[in-house]
Amino acid sequence: MLEKTTRINYLFDFYQALLTPKQRNYMEMYYLEDYSLGEISELSQVSRQAVYDNIKRTEQMIESYEKKLHLYDKFQTRTELLDKIEKDLAENAITNDTKSMLIKLKEID
């Protein structure tokens, strides 16, 4: 569950500009502020089921955006490569592998 929440939070960061204000609000309350569905429904004056349905549709929507745009995947790849390069630099172990990682970084976008 924590892995799903982390993924949705990242996807929300990347794709929130593509959401409606209502979708952004529900996702912020549910995932970032840890409100329950009941609390969101009270604040929004809608049924708990309406909040649940909206959040689930929004999750599917941002997953669909990720399948098309790959912003999160590219972010993860960049982060992993940068970590490896930093490790090599800290160990003064700059090799051909380090150079190839730099080339891969340039090719990601």
2-69 placed in CATH 1.10.10.10: yes
Q: Distance between CA atoms of 80 and 61, rounded to whole angstroms? A: 26
Q: Which two tokens stand for residue 62?
A: 């941002």
CB distance 57 to 50 below 8 Å? no
Model confidence at 10, pLDDT cuts 50, 70, 90, reads very high
For the chain, the residue count is: 109
- This prediction has a pTM of 0.79
Per-residue pLDDT tens over the stretch 36-72: 999 999 999 999 999 999 999 999 999 999 999 999 9
Domains in the chain: boundaries: 2-69, 73-107
